[in-house]
Structure 1
Amino acid sequence: PVASTETTFKSIKHLITPQMLIMDVGSTKRDVVDAARRSLREQIGCFVPAHPIAGKELSGVENADPDLYHGRQVVLTPIERTSRIQLQKAVDVWAALGCRVLKMTPESHDAAFAAVSHLPHLIAFAMMNAISGQPMGRDFLSLAGPGFRDFTRIAAAEPSMWRDVLMSNREELLAQSKIFQRNLQALELMISNGNEDALLEQIEKASETRANWSMAKQQQK
């Protein structure tokens, strides 16, 4: 969990040698980098922040997948003091697992994943609670089909891990949430006003964007 990163760094600090590569696999990066600066200090050159884009909603050893990383992206967010030697080691490790390696700043990483990962999780959590909290919620859920299953799959993610992720990236997440709410309210207004043409235009825009995007295409770039 992201919130345990600093404690982990402190517990292993005495074991780190200059030749050692240290990586995390957390979903946020600015907090992790800040924790590394505070804890590792002169040893921070050994640390290469990493985020493999290959998570599942299920956790635990019983859900291990030997092919989890194959064909997926991994984002590395080296800082100014990251050792070039350790950075290359990190690239080699992930490439050996079949990953395509990207490099970003911690800030750019957190801004991007607030939009495409953290906000979708927040919405999925809210959606499940909004429906299950209604008097007829259980009956509604009994009628849900594949679309609802796919949309809310990530709501089954490990709770404490995602609490830490959402809290650690709160500024970027809340900014994205406000953008989402403005778009949702605009659609609601179109429905309320009976503006079918405007509503159709927005649905077509979203449909076209989704049709032109796929994770497979992103992996091939």
Structure 2
Amino acid sequence: MESSQPEFGKIVVFGTGLIGGSFALALKEAGAVEEVVGFGRTPSTLRIAQQLGVIDRAGINPAHEIADADIVLVATPVAQMPEIFARITPYLGPNTLVTDGGSTKGDVVAAARAAFRGHIGKFVPAHPIAGAENSGPAAAQPDLYRGKKVVVTPLPENNDERLDRIKRAWAYCGADIYELTPEQHDRVFAAVSHLPHLLSFALVHDLAMRQDADLFFTFAASGFRDFTRIAASHPEMWRDICLANREALLGELDAYRLQLDALRVALAAANGERIEEIFGIARQARRDWAGGN
């Protein structure tokens, strides 16, 4: 989706790394934005973002940048979002919309309601389902969202015009747009995203803590590499995600432990038929999901 004339005058991005930076680059490449202003935790990061063309300039004070912004994207770890919401609330302009890139929605929506209060209709929650192990402005890619899913989790207070405007912003990035409720989102992603990360971190941590860890890593091959790729993800971000969605994640972890217990019982009993049955069901489900690959 390309724009002959920029639809957005100014976009403000809090967090100019992989998620926020890729959003900015994609809108720039599509010709959909005139100016991108970035906020971050360190001046050095913002300098790098500007040098790389991720942002046009660094913001200093939200009071000078928010009121005339078309969209404010908060693309920080979710634990930082409440403070940012509170900082920008007094300066929201009549046409300013706020969205986020958080991997959890229940906690983010609660924080937004507490901060925005009567302005909550201007907040349209979203979650881009795209990522990589690297972080920071250098990791930003203009095509990160191309052909990827972005889940929008509308609130009852979002009118159609505001919802469509946020959807169009993500569509300019090349994303496929889906809708879930915040509750549906957190239940689904606890199972298909948050639990896999938890398991991957746990396995690598287990091996790393062994006295002969080097021996194991020396002989680890493609299967280990594929399974543990996501253990290279940002620890702070995934700490926040796990804590924010802990109730749903605990439920999924308990269900997974039951699966492990069932396999352990079958293995201890040398019950190859049961092990093969479980593996077969999993294999078919994986092939169906991946189109036979």
Following TM superposition, by how much is the alpha carbon of 1:13 offset from its aligned partner in structure 2, in angstroms?
Answer: 1.1
Partner of 1:138: 214
Partner of 2:82: 6
Equivalent residues in 2 for 1:1-221 (5 A)?
Answer: 1-214=77-290
User: In 2, Cα distance between the equivalents of 1:147 and 1:47?
Assistant: 42
Name the one with the larger helix percent: 1
CA offsets 1:43-91 (integer angstroms, 9 cap, x no match): 1111100000001121111111111000000001111112321101011
User: In 1, Cα distance between the equivalents of 2:133 and 2:90?
Assistant: 34
| Aligned structure 1 segments of 4 or more residues deviating by more than 4 angstroms | none
When Rg is computed on C-alpha atoms for both structures, the one with the higher figure is: 2
- The one-letter code matched in structure 2 to 1:55 is G
Q: Indicate if the aligned counterparts of 1:18 and 1:43 stay in contact, CA closer than 8 A.
A: no
User: In 2, Cα distance between the equivalents of 1:142 and 1:82?
Assistant: 53
Name the one with the larger strand percent: 2
CA offsets 1:83-118 (integer angstroms, 9 cap, x no match): 321101011111121111111110000000000000
CA offsets 1:170-208 (integer angstroms, 9 cap, x no match): 000000000000001101111110001111111111111
TM-score, structure 1 normalization:
0.95
- The one-letter code matched in structure 1 to 2:275 is L
**Structure 1: tracts of 5 or more residues without a match:** none
Higher relative contact order (CA 8 A, sep 6+): 1
Following TM superposition, by how much is the alpha carbon of 1:15 offset from its aligned partner in structure 2, in angstroms?
Answer: 2.0
- The one-letter code matched in structure 2 to 1:155 is A
- The one-letter code matched in structure 1 to 2:166 is A
Following TM superposition, by how much is the alpha carbon of 1:18 offset from its aligned partner in structure 2, in angstroms?
Answer: 2.5
TM-score, structure 2 normalization:
0.72
Q: Indicate if the aligned counterparts of 1:74 and 1:94 stay in contact, CA closer than 8 A.
A: yes
Q: Percent identity?
A: 44
Q: What RMSD in Å do the two structures reach over aligned CA positions?
A: 1.2
Indicate the SS of the match to 1:82: coil
